[in-house]
């Protein structure tokens, strides 16, 4: 004997499927560009980044100069610029910041498995 689903169950399943499709579409269409300054280490790295953040404010030129001077990432040669990427291409903490926080603002220090980061979101398309 086959079980029958109620119309509310079917509607819920259809909505779930539509949500999943919407998320997949967003993952393919949403893009962001960001720059970062990475300092490896513990609390001292976080404190150093806080000092840098206070010095540079939200100035992209000062951010790029600080990235060139302090960042442990090879992107430091490009002022910390990481180029364009989509959701899920960066580690979770980085991704969450870039795809949820305001553009044009320096965020952090944010801890990831690589160390602590200051992140400047330069562009995001929805």
43, burial (CB in 10 Å: exposed 0-12, middle 13-18, buried 19+): exposed
Structure tokens at 71: 């960042």
Mean pLDDT of 4-20: 60
Higher pLDDT: 100 or 3? It is 100
Higher pLDDT: 11 or 30? It is 30
CA gap 90, 84 in Å, rounded: 11
How many helices and strands (H and E) does the chain possess? Answer: 4, 4
Element (H, E) at 119: strand 115-125
Handedness of CA 57, 60, 63, 65 (dihedral sign): negative
Count of other CB atoms within 10 angstroms of residue 92: 10
Phi, psi of 78, rounded to the nearest 5 degrees: -115, 30
Walk me through the domains of the chain, giving residue ranges and CATH numbers.
31-125 (3.10.50.40)
Shortest CA distance to 53 belongs to which of 110, 99, 115? 110
pLDDT tens for 23-67 read 555 556 799 999 999 999 999 999 999 999 999 999 999 999 999
């Amino acid at each position: 004997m086959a079980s029958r689903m109620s119309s509310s169950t079917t509607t819920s399943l259809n909505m779930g499927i539509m949500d999943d499709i919407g998320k997949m579409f967003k993952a393919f269409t949403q893009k962001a560009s960001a720059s970062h300054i990475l300092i490896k280490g513990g609390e001292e790295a976080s404190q150093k980044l806080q000092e840098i953040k206070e010095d540079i404010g939200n100035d992209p030129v000062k951010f790029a100069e600080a990235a060139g001077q302090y960042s442990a990432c090879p992107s430091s040669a490009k002022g910390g610029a990481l180029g364009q990427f989509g959701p899920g291409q960066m580690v979770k903490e980085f991704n969450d910041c870039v795809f949820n926080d305001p553009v044009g603002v320096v965020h952090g220090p944010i801890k990831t498995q690589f160390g602590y980061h200051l992140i400047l979101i330069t562009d995001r398309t929805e």
